Amino acid sequence: MIDGDTRILGVIGDPIGQSLSPAIQNAALKHYGMNYLYLAFPVSTDQVKGVIQSVRLFQMPGLNVTAPHKERVLPLMNELSETARRLGAVNTVVRREGKLIGENTDYDGFAHALQRMRNRKRMRTAILFGAGGASRAVLAVLLDQKFDEVILACRKPARGRKTIAQLKAASAVRVVPWDQRERVQADLLVNATPLGQRARDPLPATARVTRHAKGVMDLVARPGGTRWTALARSYGIPAQEGSEMLIAQGRESFRLWFGKTPPFGVMQEALAAAAGRCA
């Protein structure tokens, strides 16, 4: 129940209307009987600074941050966790003792999802589509798990090379321009772009590349599968959409705010229900 004592927190991004984070976080808050409301806030670039300042003003536990603001909030933090500093991106803001601490739970979220991928032990090479904030976490996990080669396919190769330099991964990562992504193959394919959410969108990889993979992971969270994971499964390839990662990173954000880790099933059930309403 919302009343005068209800406190707020949420996620900022642009666009943000399709975010499923409110569903899973509000389910966790309800599970613990906490009088909070988690909302999705559409925030433009010129509003970011003011919104971050409001975390202190309204004594919010924190915020989640999604595209395109994960890098923009970095200089607004008092402190950065080791992971956020390494990745150069913040997806979770935590207010602690009057300070704003920038965290990144995308790393743990993708590591969890990758661990659950079938055929994981057979995968030694990967193609990562996209060079945004989330892709940095994916790239770091792939490198830490000793993939022999990672190919980064992105629209802005200079941005990709900057990410590689930041992670000190020049010898293990190769950048491929977006329009040449159909010329490469790998064991694992990972989509870290929004592509495929709408019916008119092209897929991150066509059948020509997808059918040679041993596994496909789409960071777009859609219980039941995305258009791209459906294509992969039509070839008998293990494919995983982004629900596992979303829930895992969301649980870690909740722990950072409140010191409690919500049951996975509570968030999973809420996510499936929310996705069904949006279908």
> Coil, strand, or helix at residue 228?
helix
Paired strand residues for 128: 152, 190
Residue 39: CB atoms within 10 A of its CB come to 15
Q: Can 214 be counted among the known catalytic residues?
A: no
* Helix 21-31 vs helix 264-278: crossing angle, to nearest 10: 140
3-state SS track over 71-128:
CCCHHHCCEECHHHHHHCCCCEEEEECCEEEEECCHHHHHHHHHHCCCCHHHCCEEEE
> Whole-angstrom Cα distance, residue 101 to residue 80?
6
> Whole-angstrom Cα distance, residue 16 to residue 41?
7
Could you say which of 70, 99, 121, 162 is catalytic?
A: 70
Q: Which residues carry out catalysis?
A: 70
